[in-house]
Amino acid sequence: MAYDLVIKNGLVVDGSGFPRYRADVGIKDGKIVAKGKIDPNGAKVVDAEGRIVAPGFVDVHTHYDAQIFWDPLLTCSPWHGATTVVMGNCGFTLAPCRPEHRDYLSRMFARVEGINLKALETGLEWEWQTFPEYLNRIKQEKLGVNVGTMIGHCAVRRYIMGEAANEREADDDEIQQMKSVVREGIAAGAFGFTTTLSPTHYGMDGRPVPSRFASHKEVLELASALAEFHIGSIEIITETAVMGEDKFSEADQRLLTNLSLVTGRPINWNELSHTWDRPTAWRQQIEYMERASKEGAQVYGIARCQRLDAIFNLTESTMSFERWPRWHEVLSQPREKTLALLRDPEVRAAMKAEANELDSKNQVWRQLTNVNLVKSKTGKFAEFEGANLKEIGERTGKDLVDVLLDFSVEENLETEFAFIGVRNGDMNAVAEILTSPFALPGISDAGAHTNRLSGSYYSTFLLSHWVRDEGLLTLEDAIKRLTFMPASMYGMWDKGLIREGMAADIVVFDLDKLDWLPAERFNDLPGGDARLVNRAEGFDYLVVGGEVVYDHGEHTGALPGRVITSDEYRYNGG
């Protein structure tokens, strides 16, 4: 047989969980067509000697809904081995959308998902109203990786109910109209329905986002449209997933269970992680998922693999202090006024007093001892980089609030700090979470929170830290969780395995050298603003549709990716 590409001499970890084996992989017309000892016979060859050859990773929790229009490579996901990404999570999508709702949806994305508003206003042309029209529009983009998308509750609600979407529950007629829109989206190719009931989600106007006004009856009825298509998943943030009781509430548990039983589809919720505010919630949540499986429900938690540190400065990331009224009032002013206020002794005293107050619902953010200096913008305070505010205060004789504010004033509010361990501060708890069969590694949130978070390196962290360094999971188990399991959850039956007939989406990496690089800022957003990114080391090749897209971290120029749709995978009983 004549091949287009042959990956030679690698150790194949095929995604099934079976032990690794040495084999060549032959690729023709974008498909895997052979394994074993292969004569390239003139085909292009990738030498994988001493390397792991695995299916490309499936990054199921991203927010590339807007970035897809200005970044064909959908970075940072492919830098960390992803060949397929799923966007449209948390109930937030750009379609359906009437012209009069464009500003609201843009500001909602900016507020909740931390997507740069200038980039949204500059980079979106809004050539669609319905979800099928949005899908057809993104299909026109040339892409480096494969993209699946879902339809979001907030956009659907606003599309049908207008302003009332942010004011009240829907009546029966409105619910049926919304269900028709969801059905239309799934029929057109969406891979599922997403929603949020999280009490932390507010729009730019200060009101809860539309889906938070929905009853559980509404959520169940809209999601039930998936039962007709036998494809996809429902992604949800419940009311008590990240806040409230130290577990899911009984109402949330019943909602998740019913969503799976009514639709016959897997449910994925986020996020499954440790927080100091709710240090045993993860254990209760895993116990719930075990019980749900015995009722016949498929409920999985998308688990954060790494410690989450939230990077901020006092000009771009004031959301970090929005629950501190005095701080928020000062930091939300124009820069020059904020600088003047921070120099005012009375204002400074009030801010210090507020920083010392307790907040039972948000303890971690109150503890400035958990804040480190990440980068001195001018270099004036570079000697303190990596130290926390308390340590710096002891070395300089300053109160830790004065350290934060004085350094910021000196550097025009551009000094970078980080709240350390706002999620997964206890890595022993994370280790237990990741060994649960109900935990799927993820929460990259790629495309979102670009001014203060970069979680797209979760796969690199899982493989380098938890597999190679800690031995928590076998390489075979970890690869299965990054590939076959997420692909199966969405019904992408040609992805997640290295087998004949499967899509030739493959990653080749050196496990010994695998590492994620420190966060850096790229000034590449529409409008010129910066975003945080994490690159990686140790990934030698990324192959999408049989073409090499990345060669040792460098883009080859190939753009073989495409928008994949659920109708390609739908089972019709034939």
pLDDT in tens, 144-156: 999 999 999 999 9
Instruction: Please indicate, yes or no, whether residues 301 and 334 belong to a single structural domain of this protein.
Output: no
Q: Looking at the predicted structure, is the pLDDT value of residue 223 above 90?
A: yes
Whether 370 is in a domain gets the answer yes
What is the model's pLDDT at position 206? 86
What is the tens place of the pLDDT at every residue in 328-352? 899 989 999 999 999 999 999 999 9
- Residue numbers of the domain that contains 370: 311-421
Instruction: Please indicate, yes or no, whether residues 67 and 30 belong to a single structural domain of this protein.
Output: no
Contacts of 488 (CB under 8 A, 6+ apart): 496
Instruction: Please indicate, yes or no, whether residues 39 and 130 belong to a single structural domain of this protein.
Output: no
Instruction: Please indicate, yes or no, whether residues 449 and 459 belong to a single structural domain of this protein.
Output: no
Instruction: Please indicate, yes or no, whether residues 246 and 280 belong to a single structural domain of this protein.
Output: yes
Whether 573 is in a domain gets the answer no
Instruction: Please indicate, yes or no, whether residues 52 and 111 belong to a single structural domain of this protein.
Output: no
Whether 571 is in a domain gets the answer no
What is the model's pLDDT at position 521? 86
Looking at 453, 473, 506, which one is the last position of a domain? Answer: 453
What is the tens place of the pLDDT at every residue in 155-172? 999 999 999 999 999 999
Higher confidence at residue 312 or residue 243?
Answer: 312
Instruction: Please indicate, yes or no, whether residues 347 and 473 belong to a single structural domain of this protein.
Output: no
In the chain, the number of structural domains is 3
DSSP structure string for 514-556 = -EEPPPEEE--STTS--EEE--EESEEEEEETTEEEEETTEE-
Contacts of 557 (CB under 8 A, 6+ apart): none
Whether 570 is in a domain gets the answer no
Whether 569 is in a domain gets the answer no
Distances in whole angstroms, Cα of residue 249 to Cα of each of 6, 211, 234, 280: 52, 18, 19, 14
What is the tens place of the pLDDT at every residue in 426-460? 999 999 999 999 999 999 999 998 877 778 999 99
Instruction: Please indicate, yes or no, whether residues 200 and 244 belong to a single structural domain of this protein.
Output: yes
Whether 354 is in a domain gets the answer yes
Whether 296 is in a domain gets the answer yes
What is the model's pLDDT at position 574? 46
Q: Looking at the predicted structure, is the pLDDT value of residue 467 above 70?
A: yes
Q: At 434, list the tokens.
A: 């990741």
Instruction: Please indicate, yes or no, whether residues 178 and 225 belong to a single structural domain of this protein.
Output: yes
Q: At 544, list the tokens.
A: 């999408």
pLDDT band at 113; cut points 50, 70, 90? very high
Cα separation, 266 vs 431, whole angstroms: 24
Segment 297-322 shows an average pLDDT of 85
Higher confidence at residue 476 or residue 573?
Answer: 476
Instruction: Please indicate, yes or no, whether residues 70 and 49 belong to a single structural domain of this protein.
Output: no
Instruction: Please indicate, yes or no, whether residues 331 and 439 belong to a single structural domain of this protein.
Output: no
Q: What is the 3-state secondary structure (H, E, C) of 220-268?
A: HHHHHHHHHCCCCEEEEECCCCCCCCCCCCHHHHHHHHHHHHHHCCCEE
Cα separation, 73 vs 338, whole angstroms: 38
CATH number reported for the structural domain that contains residue 462 in this entry: 2.30.40.10
The structure's pTM equals 0.92
Cα separation, 5 vs 26, whole angstroms: 6
Instruction: Please indicate, yes or no, whether residues 403 and 546 belong to a single structural domain of this protein.
Output: no
Mean per-residue pLDDT over the chain, rounded? 94
Q: At 569, list the tokens.
A: 């995978």
What is the model's pLDDT at position 360? 47
Residue closest to 466 by CA, chosen among 480, 456, 477, 454: 477
Segment 382-386 shows an average pLDDT of 95
Whether 185 is in a domain gets the answer yes
Residue with token string 């939230």: 310
Residue closest to 539 by CA, chosen among 522, 517, 519, 562: 517
